């Protein structure tokens, strides 16, 4: 199977090349040319497998330059019980008669990014070997909070890799910032950028296209790659958990073979929900993909009008990992919906870069509306939902997950659709203690890491081990840069 750039189908490469490069040289995203289909009995076969086995089965169908035994060893390491505190890895909890919650935050950094970022370093280092690459890979990451820590933890002390993370100074929670600034490892660097996530992300994209920087780094034996969800090695491991969730529902006889489900995903960069779309393409009976946003509701508007318009105010919300106005992975969705019309995708992306908006063709819009539903929810409503879920179901959820539950409620009221629905839970509530406690009616909040115990004592829910460990750590990193000076920071950190 070959991978092509969403902006130029002529640019073809192998999976190992796509993963090593991260981004196509024309700025497009590397995407499989064709999508493998699960055989009619594929889901039944997968039903009786462990999470790790399901991961190997699914990834194998996309990575024909990797062997099953390689992937088996990667899955065993990435999803081991030393990394994940749930034996199911990605457990599905039943919330009510037709609502389920897929918990993706049982990994080492307590956010769903671990699902992919525990796997990516294995895929990437193996890809470098396959490509006979002699340089050291330098991973640049722009993070809205969770990717940074998950990438640092995934790549920590991995041979022949360096990892540099840029996060928006005022756009992450206190726990998220502490998680990053206390990161261990000899190959890691962390730096705050003045501005919001889009500033950090645009800054990192500029670094990737900076020929001068590339040359300098090459002289020092480095080449740049990405661990953001534009890298195919991030998207692929995410397809696995949608298939896995469906298999769990089958195994536990909550649904029968062939029954449809909906999924509702709290969305920022569109990577997570894109993986759900690919699972649907592979043959998982998913009816509707419900795209949930916070007040940065650019995707809600896009899905209802067909016009993507980033010219709007940016809001810092209590679900910061979704504070995004440019959803990079939407480009792959446009590529799929346009039947791989690379010229059209190039045109839309060009309009987005120059005037900040584009409107898709009626053909694309009607497909979009068949597949997706969308909605958004503000901070006040997000907190209300956290409180309700706790009171009515004794279930503690984080603000991102709460956005999804609210948008699902809105969708059900609007449509009357009662299809069993899997809501994707993307972070542990302990990453966002202040918002969660205030949603539960607590007004006096403890300082620093004591807030973790406060939430635990208030609810009786234990603090996840990796977050409890923060209490004994001192920050290693405290740099803050203006986005114009990110280049200098990269050169400095690689010294």
Among 52, 179, 262, 269, the residue binding ligand PLP under the rule CB under 6 A is: 269
Q: Verify binding: residue 146, ligand PLP, rule CB under 6 A.
A: yes
As given in the structure block, the two tokens for residue 289 are: 């993909």
**Least spacing, CB of residue 485 vs ligand PLP, in Å:** 26
Tell me how far apart the alpha carbons of residues 440 and 434 are, in angstroms, rounded to a whole number.
10
**Least spacing, CB of residue 466 vs ligand PLP, in Å:** 15
Q: Verify binding: residue 294, ligand PLP, rule CB under 6 A.
A: no
Q: Verify binding: residue 234, ligand PLP, rule CB under 6 A.
A: no
Q: How far apart are the first and last CA of the chain?
A: 39
Nearer to ligand PLP, 18 or 402 (CB): 402
Nearer to ligand PLP, 46 or 120 (CB): 120
Among 138, 255, 322, 344, the residue binding ligand PLP under the rule CB under 6 A is: 322
Tell me how far apart the alpha carbons of residues 413 and 423 are, in angstroms, rounded to a whole number.
16
**Residue 449: partners with Cβ closer than 8 Å, 6 or more residues away:** 175, 178, 470, 471
Q: Verify binding: residue 321, ligand PLP, rule CB under 6 A.
A: yes
Q: Which stretch binds ligand PLP (CB under 6 A): 31-39, 262-270, 276-284, 480-488?
A: 262-270
Q: Which stretch binds ligand PLP (CB under 6 A): 39-47, 265-273, 350-358, 445-453?
A: 265-273
Residue 128's alpha-carbon distances to 67, 133, 256, in angstroms, are 15, 5, 42
Residues 323-382 that bind ligand PLP (CB under 6 A): none
Phi first, then psi: what are they for 85, rounded to 5°? -95, 15
What character string, x for contact with ligand PLP (CB under 6 A) and - otherwise, covers 58-97? ----------------------------------------
Among 100, 222, 270, 390, the residue binding ligand PLP under the rule CB under 6 A is: 270
Nearer to ligand PLP, 276 or 490 (CB): 276
Beta bridge pairs of residue 224 = 138
Nearer to ligand PLP, 105 or 411 (CB): 105
Q: Verify binding: residue 141, ligand PLP, rule CB under 6 A.
A: no
Among 271, 375, 464, 466, the residue binding ligand PLP under the rule CB under 6 A is: 271
Q: Verify binding: residue 293, ligand PLP, rule CB under 6 A.
A: no
Q: Verify binding: residue 107, ligand PLP, rule CB under 6 A.
A: no
Among 22, 107, 268, 464, the residue binding ligand PLP under the rule CB under 6 A is: 268
Residues 399-458 that bind ligand PLP (CB under 6 A): 400, 426-427
**Least spacing, CB of residue 176 vs ligand PLP, in Å:** 9
Site residues (CB under 6 A) for ligand PLP?
111-113, 146, 229, 266-272, 321-322, 400, 426-427
């Amino acid at each position: 199977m070959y991978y092509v750039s969403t902006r130029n189908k002529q640019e073809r490469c192998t999976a190992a090349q796509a993963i090593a490069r991260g981004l196509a040289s024309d700025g497009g995203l590397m995407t499989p040319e064709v999508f493998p289909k699960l055989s009619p009995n594929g889901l039944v076969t997968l039903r009786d497998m462990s999470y790790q086995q399901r991961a190997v089965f699914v990834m194998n169908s996309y990575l024909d330059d990797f062997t099953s035994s390689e992937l088996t060893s990667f899955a065993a390491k990435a999803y081991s019980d030393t990394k994940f505190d749930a034996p199911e890895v990605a457990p599905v909890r039943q919330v009510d008669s037709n609502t389920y919650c897929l918990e993706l935050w049982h990994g080492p950094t307590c956010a769903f990014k671990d699902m992919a970022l525990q796997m990516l370093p294995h895929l990437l280092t193996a890809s470098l070997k396959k490509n006979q690459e002699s340089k050291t890979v330098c991973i640049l990451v722009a993070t809205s909070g969770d990717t940074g820590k998950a990438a640092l933890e995934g790549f920590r002390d991995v041979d022949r890799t360096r990892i540099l993370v840029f996060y928006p100074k005022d756009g992450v929670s206190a726990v998220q910032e502490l998680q990053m600034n206390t990161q261990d490892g000899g190959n890691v660097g962390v730096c705050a950028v003045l501005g919001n996530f889009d500033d950090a992300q645009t800054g990192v994209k500029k670094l990737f296209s900076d020929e001068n920087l590339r040359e300098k780094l090459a002289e020092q034996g480095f080449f740049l790659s990405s661990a953001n969800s534009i890298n195919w090695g991030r998207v692929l491991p995410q397809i696995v958990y949608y298939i896995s969730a469906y298999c769990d529902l089958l195994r536990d006889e909550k649904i029968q073979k062939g029954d449809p489900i909906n999924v509702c995903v709290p969305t920022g960069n569109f990577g997570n929900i894109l993986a759900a779309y690919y699972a649907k393409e592979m043959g998982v009976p998913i009816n509707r993909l419900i795209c949930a946003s916070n007040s940065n509701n650019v995707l809600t508007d896009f899905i209802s009008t067909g016009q993507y318009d980033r010219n709007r105010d940016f809001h810092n919300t209590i679900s910061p990992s979704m504070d995004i106005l440019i959803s990079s992975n939407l480009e792959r969705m446009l590529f799929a919906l346009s039947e791989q019309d690379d010229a059209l995708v190039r045109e839309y992306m060009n309009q987005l870069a120059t005037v900040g908006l584009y409107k898709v063709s009626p053909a694309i819009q009607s497909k979009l509306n068949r597949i997706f539903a969308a909605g958004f929810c503000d901070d006040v409503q997000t907190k209300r939902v956290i409180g309700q879920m706790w009171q009515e179901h004794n279930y503690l959820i984080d603000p991102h997950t709460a956005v999804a539950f609210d948008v699902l409620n809105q969708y059900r009221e609007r449509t009357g659709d009662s299809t069993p629905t899997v809501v994707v839970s993307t972070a542990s509530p302990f990453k966002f203690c202040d918002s969660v406690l205030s949603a539960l009616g607590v007004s006096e909040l403890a300082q620093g890491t004591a807030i973790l115990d406060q939430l635990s004592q208030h609810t009786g829910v234990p603090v996840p081990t990796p977050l409890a460990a923060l209490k004994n750590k001192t920050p290693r990193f405290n740099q803050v840069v203006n986005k114009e000076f990110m280049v200098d920071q990269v050169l400095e950190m690689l010294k």
